[in-house]
Amino acid sequence: MKKVGLTLLTAFVGGAMALGTYKIFETKYADNMTFEERQKVYFTNNPMTVSSAGSVDFTQAAAAVTPAVVYIRTTYSPSQGNGGGSQLDDMFGDFFGQRMRPRGPQQASGSGVIISPDGYIVTNNHVVEKADKITVNLNDHRSFQAKVVGTDPSTDLALIKITGTDLPIVKLGNSDDAKVGEWVLAVGNPFNLNSTVTAGIVSAKGRNIGIIGSENNDEDSNPFGMRQQQAAPKLNKAIESFIQTDAAINPGNSGGALVNTKGELIGINAAIASHTGSYEGYGFAIPINLAKKVLNDIKQFGSVKRGYIGVSFRELNDDAAKDIGITRNTGLYVSELVEGGGAQAAGIRKGDIITKVEGNPVYESSDLQERVGRLQPGDKINITVLRDGSEKNFAITLKGEAASPKTAAVSKSAEELFNKLGASFQPLSKEQKAKFHVNNGVVVTQVRPGRLFYETEIPVGSIITNINKQPINSIADIDKAITNLRNGNLIISGIYPDGTTFNNMFQVQ
C-alpha cells in the first residue's frame, strides 16, 4: 500500500514539475517562438475538438425534399403589374423571381414548400402579392390552382392553399440549431428550371439587410420599432433576421427551401444580394422558427397576431456611440418610447441600452426582433438594459397594434376570383354572432392593398354575411358563391365594424 501511495505521489510531483517547467518555458521563451510554435504550445495546453464533415452525401436529403418544393406561376392584370415597380425591384433587380413585363397580363414565378399533406404551402409574400391567378406545379407534373390564405409583408411570408390529399411535405426543422459553417441545400426553381438543388454552407445568422419595407422608409428608418426623426413616429413592422448562405440562389428561387443535411426545413429563401441580379454568393433565407409562428397565426386567425415592445432604438457601434455621446459601443440604444407601450409600462427609459434578450447578448437589431417576432400580444419577454453603469432586468408584456377605426360573364377559377378579393377570413364565433345579431357570417381578418376589399374600403373587422345572396359561413361557402356570378356581377353584403350594413355590387373583369 505504501508503494502505491509513493508511486502516485511521484507521478503527481512529476506532473507538477512538468507543468511548472512548461510555464517557465512559455514565459521565458515565448518571445522567441514562431507563431506556429506558439500555437502548438497553446493547443497542447488547450486541446479542442473539431469534427470534419468527411465524405458528404446530399442525395438522401435532396430526395426527401425535392418532391415537396413546388414551382409557382402567377399572373397579374396590367393595372396591378408585379407590385407596381416598388423600390424592392429597383434595389435588387429581378432576383425575387422570374419577372417578365409583356404587354397584357404580366407573369412572374417563384417557388414554394408544401408543409401539410392537405395542401398548405409557404412562399414569399412578394411571390404572390397582388396575383390574380396562382398556378402551382408539383415535381410530379401535377398542376393546381392556389388561393392566398394570408400574407405577412413584415416578414415577406405568405401561406397559400391548393386542394389535394396525401401530398409530399418537407419536415420543419429548428433554425436555432443551425450553425455557421454547416452544410445546407437550397431547393427551388431558378430560371424556370424545375427542382434545382444547390449546396453551400450557412455563412452567417441574424442578418438584417434592410430590404423588407424599404420602399416605405427613409434611410433613418429603424428596422424594428418606430421610424425616427418624426413628430409622430410610425412603427416599422419589418422583421429581418436572415440566415445567410452561399448556396447558389437565383431568380425564381424565392419561396423555396433551405434545408439541412437531414432534409429538415430551416429557412425560406427570400433574397440575394447581387450587382447582376444573379448568384454572387450571398443568399438570404427567413428562419423557419420565425415562419412557424407567422404561418400558424395565418391559418388559425387569418392574420398575424404580433406583439410589440414599443421602443425606437439605435444600433450601437463606434460611430453611433460617439454621435450619442456615450462610451458603450454594443447593444441597442433606446431613443424613444411608444406612449402606453409595453416597454414604457415595464419601466424602460429613454437612454437605456438593451444588452440582452432572454439572457442572450444583443449586438444588433435582429438579435431582438426575431425573438419578439415569434411572440404574440400578451406574451412576456425578458429584457436586460444597461442604466447608470449597472444592468437591470425587465419583464415586458408585449402590446398588440391598435386597430384602425377605418382603414370585382367570368370564366375564372374560384381560386383566381378569391385572390381578387384580397382578403382573409375566419368563421364567426358565438360572441361575434351575438354582438352583430346575425346567424351566419365570416369576419375579415386581413385586407391586402390593391385588391377589391382594399379599393372598396371593406376594412378588417367587417362581417361578410352574404355573397350573391348566398349565406356565408366559411371559406368554402365563399368559393361557391363567387363562382355563381350573374352577368359578371358580385354582390357582397355585410356589416362594417361600427355596425352599419352594406350591400355592394362589383363588376368582376
**Cell 423600390 appears where?**
87
DSSP annotation of 114: E
Cα–Cα separations (whole angstroms), residue 297 to 157, 329, 389: 12, 37, 40
Phi, psi torsion values for 54, nearest 5 degrees: 60, -140
Q: Which residue in 254, 303, 365, 424 is the catalytic one?
A: 254
State yes or no: is 254 an active-site residue. Answer: yes
Q: Please check whether residue 82 is in contact with residue 76, taking contact to mean a CB–CB distance below 8 angstroms.
A: yes
**Which residue, among 173, 197, 411, 400, has the nearest Cα to 303 in the 3D structure?**
400
Q: How many residues does the chain have?
A: 509
Distance, in Å, from the CA atom of 295 to the CA atom of 288, rounded to the nearest integer, reads 10
Check 156, 246, 352, 367 and give the catalytic one: 156
CB half-sphere exposure, 40, CA atoms < 13 A: 6
In DSSP terms, which residues pair with 424 in a beta bridge?
446
d(C-alpha 144, C-alpha 126), whole Å: 20
> Catalytic annotation on 156?
yes
Q: Which of 89, 126, 424, 493 is catalytic?
A: 126
Q: Does the active-site annotation cover 388?
A: no
Of residues 124, 207, 206, the one with CA closest to residue 160: 124
C-beta separation of 198 from 289 below 8 A: no
Interstrand relation of 264-272 and 171-172 (parallel, antiparallel or unpaired): parallel
**Max intra-chain CA distance, the chain:** 108
Which residues are designated catalytic? 126, 156, 254
